[in-house]
C-alpha cells in the first residue's frame, strides 16, 4: 500500500495563478483532511471531508476550495494564489468512526511569489 500520496512535492506560483493539489489514499479511509503548516503555527485545518460526498470548512478556508472526487481522492484548489498561501500543505486520512489515528501524506511545499 502506498498510504497517502500527494502531488506535486514542490510548486512555485506567481501571485494570481491557480493550481490544484492532489491527494489520494489507498487505505479505504472514510475521512480526509487538508492542513497547512507554517513555522510556529502547528497544523491548521483548511477543509475536511468526513465521508465521500461531503466537505466542510476548517479553521482557515479562505482562498481555497476542495473536491472529494471519490472515496480515494481529495483535491485542494487555490483559485488566485497569494503570498500568504506560501506554506507546506499536508493531506491526511482517517479510517472508521471508532479509530482516530490520522495518516498524513508527504506534503507539498508551495511558494507564492
Partner 1 sequence: GENVEQHPSTLSVQEGDSAVIKCTYSDSASNYFPWYKQELGKRPQLIIDIRSNVGEKKDQRIAVTLNKTAKHFSLHITETQPEDSAVYFCAASNASGGSYIPTFGRGTSLIVHP
Sites of contact with partner 1 (CB under 8 A): 31, 40-45, 48, 50, 56, 58, 90, 94, 97, 100-102, 104-107
| Cα 89 from Cα 100, distance rounded (Å) | 20
Output 17 or 86, the one with its CB closest to partner 1.
86
Shortest separation between residue 40's beta carbon and partner 1, angstroms: 6
Shortest separation between residue 100's beta carbon and partner 1, angstroms: 5
Shortest separation between residue 79's beta carbon and partner 1, angstroms: 24
Amino acid at each position: 500500500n502506498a498510504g497517502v500520496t500527494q502531488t506535486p512535492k514542490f510548486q512555485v506560483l506567481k501571485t494570481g495563478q491557480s493550481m490544484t493539489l492532489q491527494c489520494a489514499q489507498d487505505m479505504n479511509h472514510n475521512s480526509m483532511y487538508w492542513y497547512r503548516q507554517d513555522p510556529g503555527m502547528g497544523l491548521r485545518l483548511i477543509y475536511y471531508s468526513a465521508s465521500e460526498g461531503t466537505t466542510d470548512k476548517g479553521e482557515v478556508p479562505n482562498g481555497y476550495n476542495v473536491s472529494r472526487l471519490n472515496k480515494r481522492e481529495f483535491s485542494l484548489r487555490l483559485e488566485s494564489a497569494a503570498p500568504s498561501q506560501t506554506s507546506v500543505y499536508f493531506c491526511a486520512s482517517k479510517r472508521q468512526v471508532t479509530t482516530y489515528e490520522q495518516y498524513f501524506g508527504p506534503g507539498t511545499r508551495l511558494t507564492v511569489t
